[in-house]
A and B are shown apart, each in its own frame.
Chain A
Amino acid sequence: MIDLWLDMLLVFALLATAAAALCSRDLFRAVVLFIAFGLLMALGWVRLEAPDVALAEAAIGAGLTGVLLLDAAGHFRGRRRNSGEEGKGE
């Protein structure tokens, strides 16, 4: 019974982080939520008895993709700040 409740909680947390990541207007926030989603997804794969996928999801999905996305978000932020200073007339 407690398993069922924990699984429901996991599903709810997955849906909540996914929706929050999609709806967030701040890129940095969205990326952090995406990383949280990846970690929860890894837990989900463990619950589905797919530890191989869980390992790959945690290492690649949450870890490295998160780093790459953070990098990209940083670039966008820098570019937006620069273009905001230069092209205020637009």
Chain B
Amino acid sequence: MRIGLVLALSALVGLALGAAVLRIAGAPPPVDLPAAVGDALVRSGVDNPVTAVLLNFRAYDTLLEVAVLVIAGVAALSPERATPLAAPALRSANILLHALVAWFVPLMLVLAAYLVWAGGHRPGGAFQAGAVLAAAGVLMRLAGVPLHVLGNDLRFRAGLVLGLATLLLVALLGASSGGGFLAYPPALAGTLILVVEVLLALSIALVLLVLFVSAPPSDGDAASTGDEGV
């Protein structure tokens, strides 16, 4: 009976959502955004419209997004009972993983570098590259490869905020030179965006990695495998 109610409710909501989507899709767009972006693309410093929107036209949104990520990372670091970051307490015993890490991690590093660089003119960018970097870190962590960068508190924390700090600095520089908050000087826009993207990718990777790493080791695992944890 409860299943029937749930099904009826979801069918109702689904129908309403579908009708709304059709209605929105049918209406003519109030502003022709693709054309507007296309017109301004020449001045943005990059060739990829998505990157131009994310890091130039609407860089303010990206700034706030990254701020949210950094706050999440700091919050993940703060519980006192979190494991020391460098300790490989959650080592997996999977032999296949150990063998694959040596192959995958270099590939993932190259892929991340490519994604940052590609962001300027084709799909790619800081978030994707950061996610790939973080995934490489997760693999290394699971395989028990010591991550020394996580051990050094000061350097690690600096890396965590590096992207946000750079973006803020660029924004303030734009403001102080009279262009406005987050307005890049047109001649330097391409270079600035590339620098910001590289540093953002590093910071995003560290934040995502710290979210994974700083979780306290599961009590159940420690009890069942006799692993040194907690």
Contacts and interface: CB of A to CB of B under 8 A. Distances in A.
B34 interface: no
B22 to A, nearest CB: 16
Nearest to B127: A56
A67 B163 CA distance: 24
A40 B74 CA distance: 32
Contact of A71 (B48, B134, B135, B212): B212
Contacts of A82: 219-220, 223
Contact of B220 (A54, A64, A71, A79): A79
A11 interface: no
Task: Using C-beta atoms within 8 Å of the partner chain, give the interface range for chain B.
Answer: 20 to 34
B131 A59 contact: yes
Main secondary structure of the interface of A (DSSP, over half): helix
Main secondary structure of the interface of B (DSSP, over half): helix
A52 B122 CA distance: 9
Contacts of A79: 218-220
Task: Using C-beta atoms within 8 Å of the partner chain, give the interface range for chain A.
Answer: 20 to 34
B135 A56 contact: no
A63 B211 contact: no
Given A59-B128, A74-B221, A77-B220, A64 B135 contact: yes
Interface in B190-230: 208, 211-212, 215, 218-221, 223
26 contacts: A52-B124, A54-B123, A55-B124, A55-B128, A56-B127, A59-B127, A59-B132, A59-B135, A60-B131, A63-B131, A64-B131, A64-B134, A64-B138, A64-B208, A64-B212, A67-B138, A68-B211, A71-B212, A74-B218, A75-B215, A78-B220, A78-B221, A78-B223, A79-B218, A79-B220, A82-B220
Counting from the closest, the 7 A-B pairs by CB-CB distance are A78-B220, A59-B131, A51-B123, A78-B218, A52-B50, A55-B128, A52-B123
